Chains A and B, each alone.
Chain A
């Protein structure tokens, strides 16, 4: 218990120091002369966050950018790392897989989530049905990877199967299949795990958005003789457009960064590697930080337009309101 006590003390001290710092900033801001008070207030409250941003985000980003143009021993090597990335067959497989992931996961998750949200809307036991689909969200990616690895587990035809899917296959008289070893479909089997997790997220957000569509509009459409599909197509979809964009972009960013699922299930073997996984492997396992940094940079460039688009759509919506 001595250990726990020490931790509590540490937490208490940290909280006290934090409170004291905030208090000090507030005091200084408050005491500033009237003429410059506005400026002091702005600087006083933005500076801590800005400094943390510089130290924790901007500096590492700049350093990574430089690192991307060096070799394993830290010597500058021009664009060699990028040449490697776009010429080596293994690296190309990584890029190809990332493209497949980012196309399939957002579309499938959002599609399933939207369909589910529409079908259970105002249904009996809606809350329980929602909870069922939302539950995978509570499982970490590593946990999900391990669960699904067991689901896909393979044993030879002569032995009792432990994996659910192979057990079913054998019961139906088929041969067991090495789900995680057969490229390229093994990438699809990994994508299923991500879709399984993200569908709940899409469903919850979209369900809330659907409930936000004004009843008057739906009723007006019904009175005009629109059938359910037309109501959905012409009233619901425009009404939830903003939510759809948020869901699609959020899932796309999460998918671009996917690491844990691939790492736990195949470790990037059998042609299933993705950029984030390769980045870690190159930087920390292979001792090629330059290649890792180059991959990180490419990943950043891929995420950037999506973030920008997301921000623009949000701003447009605010202007409409």
Chain B
């Protein structure tokens, strides 16, 4: 048993290693450098010297640093400390933490459906009047509706993203003499033209995203439902007033399939139709730059997915047009997403911070740092850092734009972040639209 003497040190090292890895959550806090700030606009938030507000959200890495930088003026002028924590596990953890009595003061929800679950469970505090007034002033009624559950207003919108952009290479379009389409039919005609030209496939797509595989496909279908069937049907669909397998929805899926399930159209640079499922959503746009596909459908955050050094501009390497309407005379309808700020505590400092996040000051502070936009009407378009952000803000602030929140984020979790994704995967993998819609409908929670 000469080996015995090694056992103890090995076991001890193992135990120590286990203990060390035990908790290593990435705490936030501080970090952001503060410069001189004009505190006048912040007086209404009061003084909260020595008080701390804990904030929990899905936002991590560089985005989190930018967010904390945008919090800094509030901290400096009110004296409150913002303890920020971002986690990719937010969606599963927020419910657990609320149940365990360990909820943050402020939670930033990426999905209204998730927020509604928390509100219905009685965990969230209704928003104070000041926040409600700010939202009335700064946002359209649609946005306020997303923060309202059973007639009680809980959460103010914070930042936003615009979905449904179609990315393309302006130089390729110019060289080939292709025009940016203005209607859905023009887009199909253009696709045919590109396919016949033969140098590249018209479309490339990638829906792979680990256990969330399929979500870029839900964006596609939502865009088509909104454009083909209009906002009324879209609202009915999302709130389950019509079943998921309603003929209108199946029809919209089939219309999407004219592009996504067409071997002539996809999947530039990756293979056949089914390669959509094995292509990561962040890499899927690459063939646009390589000249292997002409168009790629993805939200405004695709701007961050291009390789470093790619110029995103109307005359740059890539640019984007909004997925066109089926009927140009009816105006533009767009889908998008955003974050909702809810409070688990109704302390004065938490309420003041919630109000700050709904204010025009915050929107301008954050948008200036780049990468995100907001639908806040108090947002100065000049705060936007890129052409694309400017275009997105203009779209969001245009009173003629019909805006609808990402449908899968509004649906119950069992559908919006499970069976709808899985349905898209099965559909691309060959299952007929009707069968997929039936299956998603049967997963809709009863009662």
Using known A-B contacts A89-B439, A285-B413, determine if residue A71 contacts B446 with beta carbons closer than 8 Å. Answer: yes
Bound complex: CA A267 to CA B425 (Å):
11
* A193-B274 Cα distance, complex, nearest whole Å: 23
**Contact indicator per residue, chain B 207-225, by CB within 8 Å of chain A (1) or not (0):** 0001111100000000000
Interface hit among B191-199, B326-334, B414-422: B414-422
Q: Considering the chains assembled together, what is the distance between the CA atoms of A157 and B270 in angstroms? A: 9
Interface string of A71-90 (1 = CB under 8 A from B): 11100000000000000111
The reply to whether A156 and B275 contact each other, CB–CB distance below 8 Å, is yes
Residues of A near B445 (CB, < 8 A) are: 71-72, 288
List, in ascending order, chain A residues with CB within 8 A of B40's CB.
Answer: none
**Does A181 contact B412, Cβ atoms closer than 8 Å?**
no
Q: Contact: B414 with A270, CB < 8 Å?
A: no
Instruction: Give every chain A residue within 8 A of B120 (Cβ-Cβ).
Output: 73
Within A298-318, the residues touching B (CB, 8 Å) are none
Chain B residues closer than 8 Å to A153, beta-carbon distance: 278
**Closest A residue to B15 using CB positions:** A11
| A270 near B425: Cβ-Cβ < 8 Å | yes
Contacts A88-B442, A286-B413; is A159 near B271 (CB within 8 Å)?
Answer: yes
Shortest Cβ gap from A138 to chain B (Å):
14
Contacts of B274 in A (CB 8 A): 178, 181
Expressed in whole angstroms, the minimum distance between the Cβ of B117 and any Cβ of chain A is: 6
The A interface is mostly helix, strand or loop, or mixed, namely loop
Contact B429–A181 (Cβ < 8 Å): yes
* B272 / chain A contacts, CB cutoff of 8 Å: 156
CA A157 – CA B211 in complex, angstroms? 26
Number of interface residues of B (CB under 8 A): 38
Chain B residues, CB < 8 A from A73: 120, 447
Q: Check A286/B439 contact, CB under 8 A, given A7-B19, A71-B446, A181-B278.
A: no
Q: How far is the CA of A76 from the CA of B429 in the complex (A)?
A: 37
Interface of B is mostly: helix
Whether, in the assembled complex, B277 has its beta carbon less than 8 Å from a beta carbon of chain A, the answer is: yes
B271 touches A269 (CB 8 A): no
Cβ contact within 8 Å between A155 and B439:
no
CB distance from B70 to the nearest CB of A (A): 27
Q: Does B394 contact A (CB under 8 A)?
A: no
The 8 A CB mask of B405-447 against A (1 = contact, 0 = none) is 0000000111001110010011001000000000100110111
A71 engages B210 (CB within 8 Å): no
Determine if B16 is an interface residue (Cβ-Cβ < 8 Å). Answer: yes
Q: How far is the CA of A267 from the CA of B271 in the complex (A)?
A: 22
A–B complex contacts, Cβ < 8 Å, 27 sampled? A11-B19, A11-B20, A71-B445, A72-B414, A72-B445, A88-B443, A89-B439, A90-B439, A153-B278, A154-B271, A155-B275, A156-B267, A156-B269, A156-B271, A156-B272, A157-B271, A159-B270, A159-B271, A176-B271, A181-B278, A263-B211, A268-B211, A269-B213, A284-B92, A286-B417, A287-B412, A288-B414
Query: Which 4 A-B pairs rank lowest in CB-CB distance, beginning with the nearest?
Result: A156-B271, A287-B413, A286-B418, A267-B211
